[in-house]
Structure 1
Amino acid sequence: MMARLLQLAFVLVVALAGVSGAVAARAWDVGDGVLVFMLALVAFQIATPLLAYGLSARDPPPPAASATLARRIAAVLEELFAFWQTFVVLQPFARLWRREAALPSASARTTPVLLIPGYCCNEAMWRPLQDRLRAAGRLAASATLDPPFAGIDELADRLDEEVERLLAATGAAKVVLVGHSMGGLIARAYLARRGRDRVAALITTGTPHHGSKLALLGLGRDARQMEPGSAWLRELNSRPPPVPTHSIWSARDEFVVPRDSARLDGARETVLALPGHFGLLRAPQVLEAVLEASDQR
């Protein structure tokens, strides 16, 4: 379902860019129209992260996140590319990126990894990290949890099904859960129901454990639950995670506002200075954390 919604959004963006190009071609010439079309196609796609950067500007990063202007600009450009790749190349065409091959049996030395996408995202967003994990010899599967605007507890039920499917396919006793953004909250809601029986460890990346002000702009029950101070978050945070948990977050995350909402009592914490919300998943520290958690010693 999410892939279809993203495909529709992509078609609308192309149509808007086409109209812009046609108007430019009529006003100037065909060459100018093509240029405007290409610029509009890119601009419409990166408008969301740029808006998020603007809305989060009042939440300055902590002093430890100081960096040169050149490095900050580079990080923003990397985030815009990561967002564009996620929502234009990968997610609308999830079927093209899906690996159909069956997962091999679990190794005695590693624990399978299940990657959980966040709000308005599907399994394809994980393809870059998934490829790196598999190149490192890990069993890494990703899940799409539908319907997209349901309550987080309902999505946790879908996660329960995905965990059981992965365990049955690999013969493993437990999995490592890795959640991005709302995916971390889905994983915690699953753990609150099922406990630690099926999960060896949890890694959350850019997860608003205490909510995000930008959720006020979102649609669906899940967005309402992610609003700061929501009753759902208060209940979730009333008890610590029942498994070893590692929260990895960025001091310049443009979608988690305030940024330290990603802090979680009782969890190990890694704070990165520069990556954005989606660029965070390309950070080598995330790969290292997942490899460490999935390595049975």
Structure 2
Amino acid sequence: MVSWRLVGTEVSAVGAAALSMPLRLIVRREHFDPVAPHPTPAILVHGFLGDPTNFLVLRSHLAAAGVPNFATFAYPPRIDYQRLAHRLGQEIELFRSETGTAEVDLVGHSLGGLVARYLVEMDQGSPVRRLVTLGAPYFASPLPRHELAIFGSHDPFIPPPHPRHWPHAWGGTTLGRVVVVPDCGHWGLLYHSTVRDEVTAFLRTSDGKRHRERGPLALEAAS
């Protein structure tokens, strides 16, 4: 049963997203510091009807943790994610040519996560090091090996997937995993402290290490 507290939290998250939209005029779309502790830039992809300002809280948390390099991919409301993925790939290549960075990380919310995942799945030679999705739609195939997929336990739009769709279903060593955040909805994923901590730890982890060693079949619930 959905609690009034959860409803209030989700309404607050939607309100925060709406109120932050005017700040787009002062938010830097791109920033790159090659000598940062964790220099790999994070490309942020908002969801349908979303806005780059949706990631302000997450950006602040990442920057404080030594992940200060960002770029945003903004798009008008549309649902043809295949075409958006193609555009995202072009923007990534432009960003790489301008900054000289070899790899990028992708962080997408809702439809933005689907766009980012499609790009990774369709372009096996893509320069994407890590993929993070927040409440992103999914299909029948397992999630990519290096995807951290976070879902809200009470998301009315995108429920958590069955374990057969998790990254471990590919077999072998995988950096990716699924996290289900209790008492969290769809928009709340953008502001939940557990989400911020999980994303930060995942992006800060070196390529030679797994984020965490846990049983692959246990539904991971973060409090």
User: TM-score band (shorter)?
Assistant: 0.7 to 0.9
Cα distance in 1 for residues equivalent to 2:71 and 2:14: 18
Distance apart, 1:110 and its partner CA: 4.2
TM-score (normalizing by structure 2): 0.76
* AA of the residue aligned to 2:10: E
**Structure with more helix by fraction:** 1
Distance (Å, rounded) in 1 between the aligned partners of 2:136 and 2:126:
23
Is 1:106–1:172's contact at 8 Å kept on the other side of the alignment? Answer: no
Report how many residues are paired. 197
Alignment of 1:14-163 (within 5 A): 72-87=3-18, 89-91=19-21, 93-99=22-28, 102-105=31-34, 107=36, 109-163=38-92
Structure 2: distance between partners of 1:262 and 1:114: 28
Q: For 1:248, what is the secondary structure of its paired residue?
A: strand
Per residue, is there more strand in 1 or in 2? 2
Residue matched to 1:204: 133
Q: 1:170 to 1:156 in 2, by over 3 A?
A: same
Q: Which residue identity does 2:191 align to in structure 1?
A: R
Change (3 A) 1:157 1:113: same
Contact 1:122 1:144 in 2 (8 A): no
Is 1:249 the counterpart of 2:180? The answer is no
Conservation of the 8 A alpha-carbon contact between 2:62 and 2:200 = yes
TM-score, scaled relative to structure 1: 0.59
Provide the secondary structure at the position in 1 that maps to 2:160: helix
* SS of residue matched to 1:90: helix
Change (3 A) 1:268 1:249: same
> Which of 114, 120, 141 is the matching residue for 1:191?
120
Structure with bigger gyration radius: 1
The alpha-carbon deviation at position 155 of structure 1 amounts to 0.6
Q: Are 2:160 and 1:260 aligned? A: yes
Q: How far off its partner does 1:282 sit?
A: 1.5
- Conserved? CA contact 1:177–1:202, under 8 Å: yes
Q: 1:208–1:261: 8 Å Cα contact kept in structure 2?
A: no
- Residues 197, 158 of structure 1: CA spacing in aligned structure 2 closer, same or farther, 3 A cutoff? closer
Q: Decide whether aligned partners of structure 1 residues 85 and 239 sit closer, same or farther in structure 2, where only a CA change above 3 A counts.
A: closer
Tell me the distance in 1 between the aligned counterparts of 2:86 and 2:54: 21
Gaps of at least 5 residues in structure 2 are: 168-175, 207-223
Give the counterpart letter for 2:8 in structure 1: L
2:196 is matched with 287
Contact 2:102 2:127 in 1 (8 A): yes
Give the % identical residues. Answer: 28
Q: Write the distance in 2 (CA, Å) between the matches of 1:196 and 1:74.
A: 44
Q: For 1:139, give the aligned amino acid.
A: P
Q: What is the alpha-carbon root mean square deviation over aligned residues?
A: 2.6
> 1:167, CA displacement in angstroms?
2.7
Q: What residue ranges of structure 1 are gaps of 5+ in the alignment? A: 1-59, 62-71, 211-236
- Opposite residue 289 of structure 1, the aligned amino acid is E
**Cα displacement string for residues 165-206 of structure 1 (whole angstroms, at most 9, x for unaligned residues):** 433344322111111111111011111232254011111111
Amino acid at match of 1:95: R
